[in-house]
Amino acid sequence: MEKALVKPASTAKYFDGTFMAISDQTEKGWTVAWVTIEDDKITDVVFHSTTKTTDDEGNTKFVRKDETYPHAPYHEAREVLPERIVEKNGTDIEAVTGATGTTETVKQAVERALEQASR
């Protein structure tokens, strides 16, 4: 009974650290996000998304979108989504025009990382 009355040492919602999670796969690919939390604040978000392509033999595969990915709104999303998530300390953010799919998979991956960080 004594242990049941012991109050937790911390009232923090999240553990400090960096947490990684993956979105669901869509027909276009998926997103991996790393979320860093300090004192219940999101301090950094990094994400990488994939895109579907075909190799020389005609096989479908997914590759990481890099600086050569031709869709400009994706590159804008790479810049602004982490800033918005840090600013809002969560995923209640506006989508990047032209990168709605990326916005949604980033939000899902970040939400999953936050679930992992939950106390």
For the chain, list the domains and their CATH numbers: 14-117 (3.90.1010.20)
Cα 114 from Cα 18, distance rounded (Å): 10
Beta strand segments in the chain, E: 17-22, 31-38, 41-54, 60-64
Kindly report the CA angle at 10 between 7 and 14, in degrees rounded to 5?
A: 130
- pTM equals 0.89
Average the pLDDT over 26-31 and give the result: 95
Per-residue pLDDT tens digits for 38-54: 999 999 999 999 999 99
> HSE on the CB side for 56, CA within 13 Å?
0
Cα 112 from Cα 19, distance rounded (Å): 9
